[in-house]
Amino acid sequence: MISISVLSLKGGVGKTSVALGLAGAAAKRGLSVLLVDLDPQGNATSILQARHGRRHAATLLSHPTSDSMREAISKTAWAFKQGRVDVVASDPALIRFDSWTGPRAFTPKLARALKRLEGYDVVILDCPPSLGALTREALAASTLAVVVTTPSYFGAQGADRAIYEIDEIRDSVNPDLVFAGIIVNRLREKTDEHRYRKKELVDIHGAGAILKPAIPERVALQQAESTGEPIQSLKSAGARDVTRVFDKQLTRLLKLARQADAASADTTSAGPATS
């Protein structure tokens, strides 16, 4: 099972759109997908038209057991012939779990609940736009971390801080966490400012840190969200453009996850060094 955190440190960059786009791309391939909505705003939960169960993300963090995890999973309206998307729904009570008192006080709960989860190929964790405990919970439970930004000055700043936090979690509680890269969202390639900011991201983080291709700005994404449909189900030219991008992004992420898994297996099989 591959778990992917989708995070940003600035609201309005389309983080949830990216999380949902990747979820739809995976389900369209025939994969079973679970989206964990850790954003107290609950936008992903609303768009997925989740059928709420007895539990949700807040109760899961209160009781991080495998039984609680199973009870927190809800069906959604996103079902393809090939695969499906289920959700651990958000709840306003999640905000109570986002306070952060320092690394010594952080004992991951979500990772414990996910550890024995079965029946899913991909878990996507939609983080809140902050560096509180909820984002740290997601990173501690993830295989890969994806940072979403827009080609803007403040977006680039947020990406830099998010990468720093990924490094911190890898060094402290999740040594298997891999920074997968930065997804540039809502790109208008013909705009001088957007081209400049995209180049700035490359100059700061290196070309290999930018997941290609960027997601173009298309009205189809807003249309899909307003109707609660996956972008993969819309028939417009703009929707097809964005669908192709998400599919390519997913291909790269799955490849990175396989490489990380193979590297971890090699390390384990090698055993401790002997003199």
Domain residue ranges in the chain? 2-266
- At residue 146, φ and ψ (nearest 5 deg) are -115, 130
C-alpha span between 267 and 32 (Å, rounded): 28
Give me the tens of pLDDT residue by residue for the chain, a chain 275 residues long: 899 999 998 788 899 999 999 999 999 999 999 999 999 999 999 999 987 767 899 999 999 998 899 899 999 999 888 899 999 999 999 999 988 766 666 789 999 999 889 999 999 999 998 888 999 999 999 999 999 999 987 777 778 888 989 999 999 999 999 999 999 999 998 899 999 989 989 888 889 999 999 999 999 999 999 999 999 999 999 999 999 999 999 999 999 999 988 877 776 565 554 43
**Helix axis angle, 153-172 to 133-140, nearest 10°:** 60
- Give the other-Cβ count within 10 Å of 95's Cβ: 15
- pTM for the model stands at 0.92
May I ask the CATH class of domain 2-266? alpha beta
Instruction: Tell me the H-state helices in 2-109.
Output: 15-28, 43-47, 57-62, 66-72
> Do 72 and 21 meet the contact criterion of CB atoms below 8 Å apart?
no
Structure tokens at 87: 């959700």
